[in-house]
Amino acid sequence: MRLICALMLSLLLAACATSREPRLYDALGGDAGIEKLVDALVAEYHADAKIGFLFAETDDAYFKARLREQLCAISDGGCDYTGLDMVEAHSGMDLSEAQFNDFVDASRRAMTRAGFAIGVQNRLLARLAPMRGDVIHQ
């Protein structure tokens, strides 16, 4: 009986270990996937009728580099984010809740167009969501 219980426990543990989600960085496709994502995000932000004006004077090369760092860092890719903190980066913009939601909608469209599965999108958005309070009404 003990042997049967030990075997069942071993099988359950093996099943749990194999069903574990990959690191978000890997699910995003590593450096190449994050670069693809950043390109899609920035293009979508510029093209969006509701928030595009917010990016009209953005230095895209700088923005893309910092966004790559940030996405790599929050997805456990081992990168260091060297940009401004979110309060400082959005200071004086006084972004509304609606604009923040438009930004999230544009991000989701960009991720879908770039071929990222909804589960990966949700995992990334869950990591970004805590920044909401640092972005709106600054």
44-101 per-position pLDDT tens digit? 999 999 999 999 999 999 999 999 999 999 999 999 999 999 999 999 999 999 999 9
- Both tokens assigned to 136: 């709106």
50 three-class SS: coil
- Note the pLDDT of residue 21: 85
Question: How many angstroms separate the CA atoms of 24 and 105, rounded?
Answer: 20
Backbone angles phi, psi at 95, to 5 degrees: -65, 135
23-135, CATH topology level: Globin-like (1.10.490)
Burial class from Cβ neighbours inside 10 Å (0-12, 13-18, 19+) for residue 22 reads exposed
Amino acid at 118: I
Nearest to 120 by CA among 57, 26, 40: 26
Instruction: Measure Cα distances from 134 to 57, 85, 130 in Å.
Output: 21, 8, 8
Q: What is the pTM of this model?
A: 0.84
| pLDDT averaged over every residue in the chain | 90
